[in-house]
Structure 1
């Protein structure tokens, strides 16, 4: 809670003209925003660009930040808008694997078999996530990976908290079913 109040105070300073303070918020939020975008796009370069776009917009629209605002919620609201604009311009994403990162990570582990199993599970989860609609992926990304509070996500989406809980429950159920299908197809190929 202290970080939230501190982030709010920093953003109020940015709003009043001390734009250098935005770098503090960048250091605190760029990784989370990158994770949010990567979860939606599966593309590191695109995700980096989108993070930069969020902070450019924060600077541009700093006067719209509310005196009683919550910086975290405002940042993810900006991120959602940046993502929507990007999606409109590019229409779709391509799932990509970065083999260099995968191979270097494999070399770092002592237990290759365990790593391969975890890697397969993560790849299956990624495929299942990509099979969800963009809106459902965003829902999972915000609530599970970015760990935003339900009231914040509900406000971002313009729905009630109870409606959000229903959507999350249904989306998680669909994700489990998709994961089972992906995992089952791979198991069938091996056997």
Structure 2
């Protein structure tokens, strides 16, 4: 007994799938993007500022990052994929910034210690010692490879998980963990010689 087919035939269903695939991606919702912007802005800014260490330049780069993300249709990605994609854009923007800068500008920047302004009743001698230790630490961080610096910045400035760092860097999570361990071990060894 032949029963009539209910619904579409398999050829019609295949045509519908092809038509859906050919449709242009919908524009990102302003509300969705705004929510993601508020959520990810502090992390992206912390990462960029950690790499550039100039507030105004960092603000410009972060603006460029979010402009690119909005223009490329960010609403099509899950939050985890969006975060990795966003930090890839940020990483490329920072690299582009440094390519444009003169090599001398890459040297140690004087870091404005904004957090010190919020500290009340601090002992000037203690503040000076902390500044010196921070300058020595930054010197040693700058002695690490560019890759190690990137991974440390993504971990501690942007506060990304190892999984997200792996996505941004295009490597495995194990590789990120090993690189972090080795970089931190190098820094600990180098800082042991610094008087406390």
Residue in structure 1 matched with residue 69 of structure 2 by the alignment: 58
For the pair shown, the structure with the greater C-alpha radius of gyration is 2
Residue pairs, 1:63-102, within 5 angstroms = 65-66=76-77, 70-90=81-101, 92=103, 93-97=106-110, 101=114
Superposed displacement of residue 78, structure 1? 1.7
Residue pairs, 1:33-52, within 5 angstroms = 33-52=44-63
1:169 to 177, 181, 188: 181
Change (3 A) 1:42 1:23: same
Superposed displacement of residue 180, structure 1? 4.4
Change (3 A) 1:168 1:19: same
Q: Does 1:146 align with 2:158?
A: yes
- TM-score (norm: length of structure 1): 0.71
* Residue correspondences, number: 169
Q: Does 1:32 align with 2:39?
A: no
State whether residues 41 and 95 of structure 1, in contact with CA within 8 Å, keep that contact through their aligned partners in structure 2. no
5+ residue gaps in structure 1?
Answer: 1-14
Determine which structure has the larger helix proportion and give its number: 1
Cα deviation per residue 1:166-189 (whole Å; 9 max; x = unaligned)? 2111111222244346x36xx9xx
| RMSD of equivalent CA atoms | 3.0
